[in-house]
Structure 1
Amino acid sequence: MLMVLMSIAPLLWPTIPPLVDLPGHMGRYRVQLDGDAHAWLADWFDFNWSLIGNLGIDLMIVPLAPIVGLEPAVKLIVIAIPALTVSGLLWISREVHGRIPATALFALPLAYSYPFQFGFINFALSIALALNLFALWLRLARLGHLRWRAILFVPLSCALWVCHTFGWGVLGVLAFSAEMIRQHDLRRDRASGHWLESWVRAGLGCLPLALPFVLMIVWRSGDHVTGQTADWFHWRAKMNWVLMVLRDRWMALDIASVTVLFVILLKGVRDTRVEYSRNLGLSALFLFAVYLLLPRIVFGSAYADMRLAPFVFAIALIALRPKPGLSMRGAAVIASLGLAFFGVRIAATTASYYLYAQRYDRVLPALDHIPRGAKMVTFVGRRCQDDWTYSRLEHIPAIGLERRFAYTNDQWSMPGAQLLTARYWPAGGFAHDPSQIVTDQYCRGEWWRPIDLAMRWFPRDAFDYVWLLNPPAYDPSLNRGLVPVWRSGTDVLFRVDHRDDAALRDEGIGNGQPLFPRRKGVSSPR
């Protein structure tokens, strides 16, 4: 319980959890909850409920937001994710080992893994739930309640799929590997053939988890479903994702922390005092195989393989246990080191989130200068090089949609992957993500515009305000017709003076750009 409570510490201070994509999702939730009450939102966005495997928090805020408000509701749900992740890992450890081994403490910081930092919140929630459901799966098998398990996991697996498809897939892999070991142990006295029979029986035992396959077929066969599956076997990226499983703010600390995890896993192979559980060891190997086979983009969602990497580590770490005969002193040393590791990571994440929250607090007052229902285009600066420390401002414009019911150009627009799509046609190529991201030059393989082109091309007659966040240097003459109404450092909010629109268009400024400048090698937007 102490570990679960410690895990929520980083999220207590920030009003908005500083996760990269989360503000964008919050904008969608606002349209979902209040779109009918504000007619202009329907002019800008299409929001249609449909059964897709990506609805976790979208559904949870429906009863919760009217009680506590949208932002507190989102914060409460996000706080629950690391708590559930930690409880799931510890519960699995107890079910498999009979007690929680000290080595399990090293897995707990992965509750704040890179996918969570990125703001893949439906995914992260589904994985947290999947870990706890896997522990329940193991417990019911240990107690011999196989019939009850089969009955319970039909609706539970469907609910998990609705939360996010990935969580259901991970639960299936974990459950199949565990059931395979259980079936093998029941037949280990046979001379031959027991592995093949165990494989078949494990598949039959996992049939209660299979109904979401039907839901998947219905979802992906819809009339307007888009999203490709691509970028297979990108080995350099896969190696990078392994090094980034604890990526947050301080590269040296994050890489050193991953090194600690590798050392602990290596001790399970070379140290005679610890060993791997056959049950969880096979689960970790199965997940690792899935990680190697997964492409980078699945159904239009990028970083599919990256999302799995931390949980390969987590399952492998909780698979470790002391061999019989290890002294209490030896176990206490491991427990002390594990607790110190967890404490350092939680303290670092808490400090990091405090600094990100301060950055949010500096830029969000700009929204006080925007009237409700305004149309705003935002340009968030970044470099072509993938800096270890993200600004986490890429989707902060959506707080303008969430708080001021303003149009923002950072919403994702992938039919079939999200419930919301942008339909504000006057915005042209500045209607949705990633049009809000700008750079100082063209970036190979990306859709981002250089800021000079973005400031020149965006259709001025389609927007009332321009918000620049951490912008690169650009030609100041492009500010013609823009009146500054708020400024903080390099961040500035402009009001568009439409009296000069016609004259500027004649000079090639503000005449719109219907498409992103596509170049050879450019990847699909996230």
Structure 2
Amino acid sequence: MTSLSASPSAPHPAPPVRRPHDLPPLTIALLFLGCLALVSIPILTHPIPPLSDYVNHLARMHVIAVLPQDPDIARFYYLSWSVLPNLMMDLLVPLIDKVVNIYTAGEIYTLLCFALITGGTLTLNRALFGVWSALPLIAFPLLYNGIFLIGVMNYYFGIGLALFALAAWSFLRDKAWPWRFAVSTAFVVALFFCHLFAAGVYGVGLLAFELDRLRQSRGAPLRPRLVAFVAAGLPFLPIVPLLLVSPTWGLSGDNYWEPQGKIDGVEMVMNVYFDYVAVLLTAVVLGAGVWAARHRLLQVHSLMLPLLLVAGIIYLAMPRVFFATYMADQRLPVAIAFFVIAAMRADLRHRLARRGFAVVLILLLAVRVGEVQVVWDRLTQWTVSFRQSVNEIKPGSRVLVAYADIQGGSDPRDLGLVHAACLAMIEKSSLVTTAFTVKGKQILRVHPPYRNQVDTEDGTPPQIEQLLVTEEEPTADGPRYWDLWPRTFDYVYVLFTERGAPNPDDDRLKLVYEGERFQLYKVIPPAAPPS
């Protein structure tokens, strides 16, 4: 049996063992497909999943696909293509939309992210240990996590690509250096266009890998070892000119660090909706790991220690907001979790070990998929209701989004409502104030006649009280996009309301639809001044 020990980074793939320490590759492949089918159930049964940013991104995909054919969309929006580290979804989903509807295209993209992450975990494990292993299949239950609920779809795609990038580096580490550097550079450029932080995740993994190599080659001459270590960073050089020509560079000064939330970022790896479910899954994983370790069935690659050290230091040092991107630091633990899984394998030659692994995998999958499915079934009632409310909006309207509760959206169950108003862009070709149109982050722009009527800073929508005080007078401390809103908007969505909440402004708002946690009002415009 293999023991719980750090296996060095071998210069060549390990020779195949005579006795099977793991499941046959075909069995692992079939299990992979079965697990992928199971985790796909919530996505396939909920065309509009209750994820925070997802609908907003999907609306932008729709705009890309229909411009310039849709006259209402073309009246409000245009595209400003540029070098942005946030483009992968924008490039892929509109192409898929040519053969299916936009909601199905979003589902296909999401499942592609799932397949990339789990396939990348398996492939990296194969590169590190030299044989295929079933243990990385435990990555499937982690696909649903706190970061996924935010709907950061470009970053999620990038996590999978980063896993494949490090696997390729491991496979090519002892091959001719031009191939290794060319492949790594190609991955870095692709990761940049996924998300800047995805390229950073690959950088963390590669730094840990090369630190491990440096430690393993202690007996060799120091100078060539250091040269090889430093040269490993050369594939990242294209990021510098790419950033300098990107409008994202204009956001480089928008950063701040805060200590609160570091623990929350780690909890997001396991926590989705219910704390007790996260505790149960964590206990199962730790219990199974301790049992396997005691029976010397668990093998840990030597990459694990430098990976945890490098990732831990970077995580503690990272700001909460980096390049104007919120939750910058909290995104890292989820990505590193998949690298950690890839750095382990189990000895499954004995029947008891195989049965134990099967029980743990099935339990983790059943609990996590069941949790998400049950919650999404309930939250979809809100989504269906919201989509029905959109039918009350006339095509080509201007829609303002406001909050009744300043704490709205902080509960994971509220995330699906945060950007739900963007459905009006898809269904009714409307202008929506919360659509992502931030220069340096997205390619979507608003034409000048309407640019002052939308949020171009990715901020929090106004509270209903703020609308009331700016109904006839602009904001005292500076212009806001909602100033004098009865003159510029046709509808107002008020989110995070209580059932039966009174009309906040009978003179200017007419209730046309009330759903769970939201209301849709038609704006009564002020009378035109006498000529």
TM-score range, shorter chain: 0.7 to 0.9
Say if 1:294 and 1:305, in contact at 8 Å, map to a contact too: yes
**3-state SS of paired residue (1:68):** coil
The match for 2:139 among 103, 107, 122 is 107
Is structure 2 residue 172 aligned with structure 1 residue 162? no
Structure 2 gap segments, 5+ residues each: 1-31, 471-481
| Residue 140 of structure 1, CA deviation | 3.1
| Residue 91 of structure 1, CA deviation | 1.7
The match for 1:299 among 305, 308, 323 is 323
Say if 1:485 and 1:495, in contact at 8 Å, map to a contact too: yes
The match for 1:150 among 161, 170, 181 is 181
CA distance in 2, matches of 1:55, 1:426: 24
> Which structure exhibits the higher relative contact order, with contacts defined as CA atoms closer than 8 Å and separated by 6 or more residues?
2
Trace 1:424-443 onto structure 2 (pairs within 5 A): 431=455
| Residue 479 of structure 1, CA deviation | 2.6
Quickly say closer, same or farther: Cα 1:450–1:75, change in 2 above 3 A. same
Partner of 2:89: 57
Say if 2:402 and 2:463, in contact at 8 Å, map to a contact too: no
Quickly say closer, same or farther: Cα 1:78–1:316, change in 2 above 3 A. same
The match for 2:420 among 396, 415, 418 is 396
CA distance in 1, matches of 2:85, 2:406: 33
Partner of 2:475: none
Trace 1:161-200 onto structure 2 (pairs within 5 A): 161-182=192-213, 184-185=215-216, 187-190=217-220, 194=222, 198-200=225-227
| Residue 81 of structure 1, CA deviation | 0.8
| Residue 101 of structure 1, CA deviation | 4.8
CA distance in 1, matches of 2:97, 2:357: 43
Is structure 2 residue 88 aligned with structure 1 residue 88? no
**3-state SS of paired residue (1:390):** helix
TM-score (normalised: structure 2): 0.80
TM-score (normalised: structure 1): 0.81
Structure 1 gap segments, 5+ residues each: 436-446, 504-526
Quickly say closer, same or farther: Cα 1:198–1:332, change in 2 above 3 A. farther
Partner of 2:401: 378
CA distance in 2, matches of 1:265, 1:229: 42
Is structure 2 residue 263 aligned with structure 1 residue 250? no
Encode CA deviations 1:62-105: one digit per residue, 9 max, x unaligned.
43222223332222111211121111112212222234555434
Partner of 1:136: 168
Encode CA deviations 1:8-45: one digit per residue, 9 max, x unaligned.
22211112233210111122223333343345545544
Partner of 2:497: 471
Is structure 2 residue 365 aligned with structure 1 residue 342? yes
The match for 2:384 among 356, 361, 364 is 361
Is structure 2 residue 6 aligned with structure 1 residue 6? no
CA distance in 2, matches of 1:393, 1:455: 22
CA distance in 1, matches of 2:62, 2:119: 31
| Residue 229 of structure 1, CA deviation | 3.8
The match for 2:255 among 218, 230, 237 is 230
Partner of 2:29: none
User: Partner amino acid for 1:200?
Assistant: V
Quickly say closer, same or farther: Cα 1:21–1:12, change in 2 above 3 A. same
User: Partner amino acid for 1:493?
Assistant: L
User: Partner amino acid for 1:471?
Assistant: T
Quickly say closer, same or farther: Cα 1:455–1:200, change in 2 above 3 A. farther
Say if 2:284 and 2:360, in contact at 8 Å, map to a contact too: no
CA distance in 2, matches of 1:305, 1:263: 28
CA distance in 2, matches of 1:296, 1:422: 28
User: Partner amino acid for 1:208?
Assistant: P
User: Partner amino acid for 2:375?
Assistant: S
- Once the two structures are aligned, what percentage of the paired residues are identical? 21
CA distance in 2, matches of 1:74, 1:38: 20
User: Partner amino acid for 2:371?
Assistant: A
| Residue 110 of structure 1, CA deviation | 2.0
Quickly say closer, same or farther: Cα 1:263–1:209, change in 2 above 3 A. farther
| Residue 280 of structure 1, CA deviation | 3.8
| Residue 287 of structure 1, CA deviation | 2.2
Quickly say closer, same or farther: Cα 1:269–1:330, change in 2 above 3 A. closer
| Residue 449 of structure 1, CA deviation | 3.8
In angstroms, what is the RMSD of aligned CA positions?
3.2
| Residue 292 of structure 1, CA deviation | 1.6
Say if 2:248 and 2:323, in contact at 8 Å, map to a contact too: no
The match for 1:351 among 347, 367, 374 is 374
Q: Which deviates the most, 486-495 or 292-301?
A: 486-495
User: Partner amino acid for 1:361?
Assistant: V
Say if 1:287 and 1:312, in contact at 8 Å, map to a contact too: yes
| Residue 308 of structure 1, CA deviation | 0.7
Quickly say closer, same or farther: Cα 1:136–1:346, change in 2 above 3 A. farther
Quickly say closer, same or farther: Cα 1:290–1:431, change in 2 above 3 A. closer
